Chains A and B, each alone.
Chain A
């Protein structure tokens, strides 16, 4: 046992006590001025907040989320209610975005459509993350054959154009909202896996990993406590941007009739339905298209901002 208590008196050489006082004084001044509470995350948050574009992105994402969650409270009409009298009417005071040929209020449909889009974002990306992180960890951490095999399979997934792949999977699974989520989720795992794997590879040989091993840490502990926290930044950024991609793919699938089934409102479906009326009722295309544009833009801006904020190189 180290006799801590006894030895404190024995410390004749005051090099250490001196240093405690000096160091703490000097560092205290330096640090107190810059950091109220020490945290890498707070640091990143401050950087993010300073980025105006990122804040716009964040605002859009939050607004869309609120709209999606509170859709029934925000939408003035039932999105599926057909009001014969007002069919094919342009934007007006009663119907801000106009109505479609069946007399349904476009504004309400766009509001409800946000649910599908936001849901796709969250569910599909979560599926990608789950598969990608697991396989990426296997691949990067253990290397060898599992690495070679997993990466070659990922390459195959990469080679497929996203939308084509989605279509292929949907034809197998059949149409439907849930299948859309699964399809998009499956397609996205390879990028996550690759990102995570390269993070693991670059961190694996770092000294703090060796230090953990030298202490006797298990592999699981090393992956969860050391590698993951240090590598999630690129994954967070990628996933945020991936939400935008997922939304577009869903819209495309719904456009092609493979996704959401009528009468559920989905922006992509609405675009599809508006094709015949481009000249006569342009508002049918305009508003859903605008909704997609703004939402995806929001995620992209946020992801971009996150990338800058989380980049450790920008720290002192």
Chain B
């Protein structure tokens, strides 16, 4: 059930990474504009998808939202609390409500800890429950994510990728968070296992009324789980819409190109589809193009596109919100 309350709000978030050179004291010779002024909000109970290709900044966004990184500028509000303005100790308490599931099931679990230790670590860090009750809670959580609680003393390398991902989910959920960031949680898994994990995540969301920020590069996966989707390109959000509408009525040429590039497992449909193949490579976030970042690859680009940056505007007629940052939003690709 999606609330109208905003559980998370991001305002003008920017994160630039300085590139330093020099042996002792690095001189800044440029910066990677990983996230360049993005704003959005997430409603309580919804799944907000964030999609984009490599270099678009989505992983950086994930880390900013839980204060694993400090922004260059901008604000992030969790339940109206500005997470960058509070003290470390306050943030520590907030961490119980905001959790993250990582992409790589092989790298996100410490190889030398048992899964019981891994899943139980949040309890230890936040000093919840005494030792005996902790073990029970760990076993409960393991069961909830579909793992056998008797395996509590096994090590990660004894499990398959899909099971390790379940361990990661258990770790994220044991503190009973309200908001979970999922950073490409299924990208590293086999197709058949992906489906298991996605279904699990949807079930857990329903049961515990979680709010998800679902980050991925695979638009079909994102569409399956999300209510609304934001498309990122080179550090900027170029389109935001409800997932159905994003697919059926994409407004931004990049979104159209992205949708077109995703192959559909249906031969008749695939061979009939109109293909929009975007030319060129994804440019480097160190020297983004002037004006609209997408204009060098855009089949519809005009002169204004290289001079001015388009703002996110709402193009939806009804109550819905469908934002796009394009001077020619909605125009079909030539």
A–B touch (CB < 8 A): the answer is yes
Interface residues of A (CB under 8 A from B): 1-2, 4, 7, 10-11, 13, 15-16, 19-20, 23-24, 27, 31, 35, 38-40, 148, 206-208, 210-217, 221, 225-226, 229-230, 312, 315-316
**A35 & B158 in contact (Cβ 8 Å cutoff):** yes
- B124-140 Cβ-contact flags toward A at 8 Å (1 or 0): 01100000000000001
Residue numbers in A under 8 Å from B275 (CB-CB): none
CA distance A16 to B197 in the complex (A): 10
Q: Which chain B residue has the least Cβ–Cβ distance from A34?
A: B158
Residue numbers in B under 8 Å from A31 (CB-CB): 154, 158
Residue numbers in B under 8 Å from A11 (CB-CB): 203
State which of B92, B111, B144, B151 has its C-beta within 8 Å of the C-beta of A40. B111
State which of B95, B104, B113, B157 has its C-beta within 8 Å of the C-beta of A315. B157
Q: Can you list 30 A-B pairs with a CB-CB distance of less than 8 A?
A: A2-B176, A13-B203, A15-B200, A16-B144, A16-B146, A19-B196, A20-B147, A20-B148, A38-B158, A40-B111, A40-B157, A208-B107, A208-B109, A210-B68, A210-B100, A210-B108, A211-B108, A211-B168, A213-B68, A214-B99, A214-B100, A215-B125, A215-B175, A216-B92, A216-B125, A217-B121, A217-B125, A230-B110, A230-B112, A312-B111
Q: Is the interface of A mostly helix, strand, loop or mixed?
A: helix
**A211 & B100 in contact (Cβ 8 Å cutoff):** yes
Nearest chain B CB to A314's CB is how many angstroms away? 12
Interface check B153, CB cutoff 8 A: yes
State which of B111, B151, B200 has its C-beta within 8 Å of the C-beta of A16. B200
Size category of the B interface is: 35 or more
**A148 & B68 in contact (Cβ 8 Å cutoff):** no
Interface check B327, CB cutoff 8 A: no
Q: Which of B87-125 contact A (CB under 8 A)?
A: 91-92, 95, 99-100, 102-104, 107-114, 121-122, 125
Given contacts A2-B208, A20-B143, A214-B68, contact A207 B203 (CB under 8 A): no
Nearest chain A CB to B235's CB is how many angstroms away? 21
CA distance A210 to B103 in the complex (A): 12
A-B residue pairs, 7 tightest by C-beta: A207-B108, A24-B148, A229-B112, A19-B146, A216-B95, A207-B107, A16-B146
**B107 & A230 in contact (Cβ 8 Å cutoff):** no
CA distance A97 to B251 in the complex (A): 93
Q: Which of A4, A226, A229 has the most CB of B within 10 A?
A: A4
Interface check B16, CB cutoff 8 A: no
Q: Which of B56-96 contact A (CB under 8 A)?
A: 63, 66, 68, 91-92, 95
Nearest chain A CB to B65's CB is how many angstroms away? 10
- B22-47 Cβ-contact flags toward A at 8 Å (1 or 0): 01100000000000000000000000
Residue numbers in B under 8 Å from A221 (CB-CB): 125
Interface residues of B (CB under 8 A from A): 23-24, 63, 66, 68, 91-92, 95, 99-100, 102-104, 107-114, 121-122, 125-126, 140, 143-148, 150-151, 153-155, 157-160, 163, 168, 171, 175-176, 196, 199-200, 203, 207-208
Residue numbers in B under 8 Å from A148 (CB-CB): 23-24
Given contacts A214-B68, A214-B99, contact A39 B155 (CB under 8 A): yes
CA distance A19 to B126 in the complex (A): 30
CA distance A214 to B113 in the complex (A): 17
**A216 & B126 in contact (Cβ 8 Å cutoff):** yes
**B63 & A210 in contact (Cβ 8 Å cutoff):** yes
**B107 & A206 in contact (Cβ 8 Å cutoff):** yes
Given contacts A207-B104, A207-B108, contact A214 B66 (CB under 8 A): yes
**A215 & B155 in contact (Cβ 8 Å cutoff):** no
Residue numbers in A under 8 Å from B154 (CB-CB): 31, 38
Nearest chain B CB to A220's CB is how many angstroms away? 12
Given contacts A19-B146, A38-B155, A315-B157, contact A207 B102 (CB under 8 A): yes
Given contacts A207-B104, A214-B95, A216-B95, contact A23 B157 (CB under 8 A): no
CA distance A212 to B100 in the complex (A): 10
CA distance A4 to B145 in the complex (A): 12
Residue numbers in B under 8 Å from A2 (CB-CB): 176, 207-208
**A215 & B95 in contact (Cβ 8 Å cutoff):** yes
Nearest chain A CB to B154's CB is how many angstroms away? 5
CA distance A92 to B113 in the complex (A): 57
CA distance A19 to B199 in the complex (A): 12
**B153 & A38 in contact (Cβ 8 Å cutoff):** yes
CA distance A103 to B126 in the complex (A): 69
Q: Which chain A residue has the least Cβ–Cβ distance from B93?
A: A216
Residue numbers in B under 8 Å from A211 (CB-CB): 100, 102, 108-109, 168, 171
Q: Which chain B residue has the least Cβ–Cβ distance from A18?
A: B146
CA distance A265 to B218 in the complex (A): 72
Q: Which chain A residue has the least Cβ–Cβ distance from B142?
A: A20
State which of A10, A38, A40 has its C-beta within 8 Å of the C-beta of B112. A40
State which of B92, B108, B148 has its C-beta within 8 Å of the C-beta of A23. B148
Nearest chain B CB to A168's CB is how many angstroms away? 28
Nearest chain A CB to B185's CB is how many angstroms away? 12
CA distance A229 to B140 in the complex (A): 27
Q: Which chain B residue has the least Cβ–Cβ distance from A26?
A: B160
**A226 & B110 in contact (Cβ 8 Å cutoff):** yes
Q: Which of A1, A35, A40 has the most CB of B within 10 A?
A: A40
Nearest chain B CB to A79's CB is how many angstroms away? 45
Residue numbers in B under 8 Å from A225 (CB-CB): 113
Residue numbers in A under 8 Å from B159 (CB-CB): 27
Nearest chain A CB to B132's CB is how many angstroms away? 16
CA distance A19 to B144 in the complex (A): 11
Residue numbers in B under 8 Å from A27 (CB-CB): 148, 151, 158-160, 163
Residue numbers in B under 8 Å from A226 (CB-CB): 110, 113
